[in-house]
Amino acid sequence: YKREEIEGQHWTITIPEDQYPVVEAADKRRTAGGSDRYELEILHRDGQRIPVQVSGSPLFENGDFMGTMAVFMDLTARRKQEKEQDAIVAVSRALRNAADREQMLPILLDQMENLLDANGAAIALREPESGETVIASACSAWAEWKGERLPAGVGVSGKVIESGEIYTSEDILNDPLFPRPELLGEMCSLICVPLIAHEETLGAMLLGRKHPFDESEIRIMTAIADMAANAIRRATLMETLEVRVRERTQELEDANEQLKELDRLKSSFVSNVSHELRTPITNVMLYLSLLQNPLKANKRDVYMGVLQNEANRLSRLIEDLLTLSRLDGDVESERKELHVMDALIAEVIDSQQARAEAKNILLRHELNPEVPAIMVNREQMIQVITNLMGNALSYTHPGGHVLLSSESVNSREEPHIAIKVYNNGPVIPSEDRAHLFERFFRGKTGRDSGEPGTGLGLAICKEIVEQHSGWLEVESDPELGTSFVIFLPFYEKNINPAVG
Indicate the domain borders of the chain: 3-74, 79-243, 332-489
User: Which of residues 147 and 181 earns the better pLDDT score?
Assistant: 147
Least confident of 92-101, 251-260, 368-377: 92-101
Binned at pLDDT 50, 70 and 90, residue 276 comes out as low
Q: Assess whether pLDDT exceeds 50 at residue 499.
A: no
Looking at residue 126, its pLDDT comes to 92
Q: Assess whether pLDDT exceeds 70 at residue 274.
A: no
Task: In whole angstroms, give the CA distance from residue 190 to residue 211.
Answer: 9
- What angle separates helix 76-97 from helix 215-291, to the nearest 10 degrees? 10
Helix (H) or strand (E) holding 191: strand 189-197
Q: Rounded to the nearest 5°, which phi and psi values hold at 75?
A: -105, 10
Contact 467, 333 (CB under 8 A): yes
Binned at pLDDT 50, 70 and 90, residue 496 comes out as very low
Domain 332-489, CATH: 3.30.565.10
Residue 46, strand partner residues: none
Q: Assess whether pLDDT exceeds 80 at residue 497.
A: no
Q: Assess whether pLDDT exceeds 70 at residue 376.
A: yes
Q: How many CB atoms lie within 10 A of CB 201?
A: 16
Looking at residue 346, its pLDDT comes to 92
Average pLDDT over residues 265-283: 65
Q: Do domains 3-74 and 79-243 have the same CATH topology?
A: yes
Q: Assess whether pLDDT exceeds 80 at residue 189.
A: yes
Binned at pLDDT 50, 70 and 90, residue 306 comes out as confident
Least confident of 19-23, 87-91, 211-215, 264-268: 264-268
User: Which of residues 323 and 336 earns the better pLDDT score?
Assistant: 336
Contact 55, 71 (CB under 8 A): yes
Binned at pLDDT 50, 70 and 90, residue 495 comes out as very low
- Displacement of CA 330 from its chain's centroid (Å): 31
Task: In whole angstroms, give the CA distance from residue 439 to residue 457.
Answer: 8
- Number of H helices and E strands in the chain, helices first, is 12, 16
Helix (H, G, I), strand (E, B) or coil at 414: strand
Q: Assess whether pLDDT exceeds 70 at residue 454.
A: no
Q: Does the CA dihedral 371-374-379-381 come out positive or negative?
A: negative
User: Which of residues 245 and 366 earns the better pLDDT score?
Assistant: 366
Third-level CATH fold of 3-74? Beta-Lactamase (3.30.450)
What would you measure as the largest C-alpha separation in the chain, in angstroms? 159
94: Cβ–Cβ under 8 A, 6 or more apart, which residues? 107, 108, 111
Class of domain 79-243: alpha beta
Q: CA-CA distances (angstroms) from residue 372 to 173, 344, 469, 473?
A: 68, 13, 17, 21
Average pLDDT over residues 241-262: 82
Helix (H, G, I), strand (E, B) or coil at 116: coil
Helix (H, G, I), strand (E, B) or coil at 12: helix
Task: In whole angstroms, give the CA distance from residue 471 to residue 490.
Answer: 13
Q: Assess whether pLDDT exceeds 90 at residue 204.
A: yes
Looking at residue 167, its pLDDT comes to 92
Q: Assess whether pLDDT exceeds 80 at residue 96.
A: no
Binned at pLDDT 50, 70 and 90, residue 493 comes out as very low
Looking at residue 144, its pLDDT comes to 86
Radius of gyration of the chain (CA): 46
Looking at residue 266, its pLDDT comes to 65
Contact 389, 348 (CB under 8 A): yes
Average pLDDT over residues 172-187: 76
- Nearest CA to 384 among 308, 499, 472? 472
Q: CA-CA distances (angstroms) from residue 171 to 168, 175, 177, 178, 188?
A: 9, 6, 11, 10, 5
Binned at pLDDT 50, 70 and 90, residue 164 comes out as very high
Q: How many CB atoms lie within 10 A of CB 41?
A: 14
Q: Rounded to the nearest 5°, which phi and psi values hold at 375?
A: -85, 115
Q: Assess whether pLDDT exceeds 80 at residue 54.
A: yes
Binned at pLDDT 50, 70 and 90, residue 91 comes out as confident
Q: Assess whether pLDDT exceeds 70 at residue 89.
A: yes
Helix (H) or strand (E) holding 79: helix 76-97
Task: In whole angstroms, give the CA distance from residue 422 to residue 476.
Answer: 10
Q: How many CB atoms lie within 10 A of CB 162?
A: 17
Looking at residue 76, its pLDDT comes to 87
Average pLDDT over residues 311-332: 68
pLDDT digits (tens, 9 = 90+) for 118-135: 988 999 999 988 889 999
The amino acid occupying position 86 is D
User: Which of residues 440 and 371 earns the better pLDDT score?
Assistant: 371
pTM: predicted TM-score of the whole model, two decimal places? 0.43
Q: Assess whether pLDDT exceeds 60 at residue 500.
A: no
**Which stretches of 204-340 are DSSP H helices?**
215-291, 300-328
Looking at residue 19, its pLDDT comes to 94
Task: In whole angstroms, give the CA distance from residue 461 to residue 492.
Answer: 18
Average pLDDT over residues 412-418: 88
Task: In whole angstroms, give the CA distance from residue 159 to residue 175.
Answer: 13
Q: Assess whether pLDDT exceeds 80 at residue 385.
A: yes
Q: How many CB atoms lie within 10 A of CB 205?
A: 27
Average pLDDT over residues 101-118: 83
- Nearest CA to 160 among 130, 213, 196, 107? 196
Distance between the two ends of the chain, CA-based, in angstroms? 97
Task: In whole angstroms, give the CA distance from residue 177 to residue 150.
Answer: 12
Looking at residue 491, its pLDDT comes to 65
40: Cβ–Cβ under 8 A, 6 or more apart, which residues? 15, 19, 22, 23, 51, 52, 53, 54
Contact 53, 185 (CB under 8 A): no
**Which stretches of 150-214 are DSSP H helices?**
155-163
Looking at residue 366, its pLDDT comes to 92
Q: CA-CA distances (angstroms) from residue 190 to 91, 124, 149, 194, 215?
A: 21, 14, 20, 13, 13
The one-character DSSP state at 30 is H
Binned at pLDDT 50, 70 and 90, residue 443 comes out as low
Helix (H, G, I), strand (E, B) or coil at 340: coil
Average pLDDT over residues 257-264: 77
Looking at residue 74, its pLDDT comes to 92
Average confidence score pLDDT of the chain: 83
Contact 139, 109 (CB under 8 A): yes
% of the chain at pLDDT higher than 90: 26
- Displacement of CA 88 from its chain's centroid (Å): 37
Looking at residue 97, its pLDDT comes to 73
Helix (H, G, I), strand (E, B) or coil at 135: strand
pLDDT digits (tens, 9 = 90+) for 12-43: 889 999 999 999 999 999 999 999 999 999 99
Least confident of 224-233, 340-349, 416-425: 224-233
